[in-house]
Structure 1
Amino acid sequence: MLPEKTDTVIVGGGQAGLAMSEHLSKYGIPHVILERHRIAERWRTERWDSLVANGPAWHDRFPSMEFPDTAPDDFATKHSVTSYFEAYAKQIAAPVHCGVEVLNATRNAHGTGFVVDTSQGTIEARNIVAATGPFQTPVVPSVLPDLPGITQMHSTAYRSPDQLARGAVMVVGAGSSGTQIADELRRSGREVYLSVGPHDRPPRSYRGRDFCWWLGVLGKWQAKTPPAGKEHVTIAVSGARGGETVDFRRMAATGITLVGRTQRYSDGHLHFGPDLAKNIAEGDANYLSVLREADDYIARNGLDFPPEPEAHIIPPDPACISDPVLSVDIAKAGITTVIWATGFVQDFSWLKVDAFAPDGKPLHDRGVTDIPGMYFLGLPWLSMRGSAFIWGVWVDAQYLAEHIAASPALKAG
């Protein structure tokens, strides 16, 4: 049963909500977590069957708990991740209320704090933390109309090759989801087209260390703002099959047809931009820059890491890059499924407070808004590049809990 009042309401029972709960508990601050489904629901029902974490288990975890079923250098399955969050909630005795949807949250018209209307009643709280994360509403561009014989789905609806009708598959989006899904489909024997837009393509590992380790020692996880023009650039990285560098040329060699960014549809044809070679080249440049910075770091610190000169070799472009396909006749190509691995937008329609810019983006400084008691957590670049990752959200939650604990209203109470 929900309390009528509490100090802090946390909306969202994923990694952000659990991290916030742990830190609030350390300060003895009463709170509840409201989760409309189950803990880590998106890992349960909005990811494909074979998905594994994109970071090794030593990295993608909270500081106080290791994965019990995954070796530190291995990549946890989605089922292991779900079990991990459930066990973590028990470990910290998180006050999670599942099956409770937040309908509206408004400022209290008769005093300080907020009134939170839910599917199971109303709660008054001094603080509210929006911890719903970055993966809220799937984005499906309105490029392709509904066509007979063509199934369109977002990557959140994809589970395995067996669920799809027979025929070729067009995958739109070359981030972690799109590349892994395209690769799985090709390995299952499907004809696959992969639409590749701008992306970063880091090495999975280099000179004996995972790229997560390299981003740490090179200070990239702690970067405060994204590079100019890179705010929404996707990252192509994979933990599949023990972890491997995403290599679009190798994917082409397996039979996947690479095309540029999907632009429009007309007369039975999908049309693509002439930007494939440019996108691939910029991804290569990102990849090579990490290698060079890693080499410099090794030299500066006198580390005895094994050399890996072959990692710097970029092979020649395959025909689909040097002579790109600019349009595809859907019927002749035998395409029966289009999978949109095109990301998400945030949905704060339930939050009726003046904490947003005209474009709908939350206004905050490290998650703290100008509205007393209103906080955001788990968003990309909330305080640093690592903010949307498990360990990063834990750090951000600690900062917000300190802010809440230091507020004059709490001390007065």
Structure 2
Amino acid sequence: MSASTQGAPVSAGYGRVFAVPEFRAVFAAHVLSMLGVIVSEIALSVLVYDLTRSPLLSALTFALGFLPYAVGGTLLAPVADRLPARRVLVGCDLVCAGCVALMTVPGTGIGLLLALRCALAVVSPVFSGTRMATLADVLGDGDLFVLGRSLLRIVAQSALLVGYGLGGLLLTAVSPRRALLITVGTFLASATLLRCGTRHRTARTRRGTGTPPGPRTLVGDRRVRVLLLMFWLPAAFSVVPEALAAPYADELGSGSAGLGLLMCALPVGTVAGELFAGARLGPRARERIALPLLCLSLLPYLGYALRPGLTASLLLLVLSGAGSAYTLGLDQWFVRAVPEEVRGRAMTLLSAGLMTVQGVGMALAGVAAQTVGVRTAVAGAGVAGVLCCCALAAAARVTERAQEGGRATESRDRAARNMTGR
């Protein structure tokens, strides 16, 4: 545990997190890198469309942001623990800056543009996983870590609300290639902040100290496996309304304004829920409500079966987003369950799986809507999601009791050894 967290109160609050200088550097770098990613996605999509006039290829640039996550998360996950964290974070930012810089070169072909987009997506889970593991080094593995993770998620959701708007405005003033050039600066600024604002720490896993558990071994631990599924599977269902926002807005006749509101409602609810749980609830309370919220978070989707109008639909999405505050409790359980020496690869696996299942969920949402209609697809996702979440909550209870039983046995064995030693 870092020195900064010693003696922290039971409920730290967001202000205590910002009091840690290293976290401020990580937070500022996260804001810059998120804006860089979002603006580059918009600018690249527009650039590809300008070059090809193909809606399919333009949309493909967004899809490529999801698909390579699985590759990067499995093949590159060991990097997060084999190398010092600061070196990994700075290196990832520099790779992203280099890839985007190549996109700005006049005459760059479509194939190379899409390949560079894939490279960004392959690097992304390593960066995210290493940064999450670094938070535990900076803030400790207690309440400050949970609040720090929450703040980074809030930034990510807020960036979706602000970043796309800023990106669109930026493209009205400059060309797509110039917009991409600006994002090179954001990645370089992020790398500089991480290099100068965080201290050097040795790699968690050193070569020659034995083979650390890989993804299969991590997933083989029942407690870790259940917690990973609790992060992944609800996310696969929660993205369904977002994936179908355009056809749903068309059905409602709400136009582009309605589409924008539908895209914003879920992130707004998520930010509100996280802020309330982080600022108003202590760590024990957040853990107590984690499983009930998990089971209830997708329940509002069932309201789509009642054919709600725009206002009611927005309310349902905000409520569902607020329910995702259960992740604060999951963060605490996950960091406890994973050994420190493999925390980087575990977090990388978590990040990669999360993005991959969201991409799969969006694709399946389109297939379902094509077959049964948008409203039925969203309501069906709600039914399936609630059942899945309830099953995961039950499994989490079982693994928690098994974990507590294992700890009690260890304590008794340790006490017996001490008595024998005497």
TM bucket, shorter chain: under 0.3
TM-score normalised by the chain length of structure 2: 0.26
Q: Which has the higher contact order (CA 8 A, sep 6+)?
A: 2
TM-score normalised by the chain length of structure 1: 0.26
Structure with higher strand content: 1
Structure with higher helix content: 2
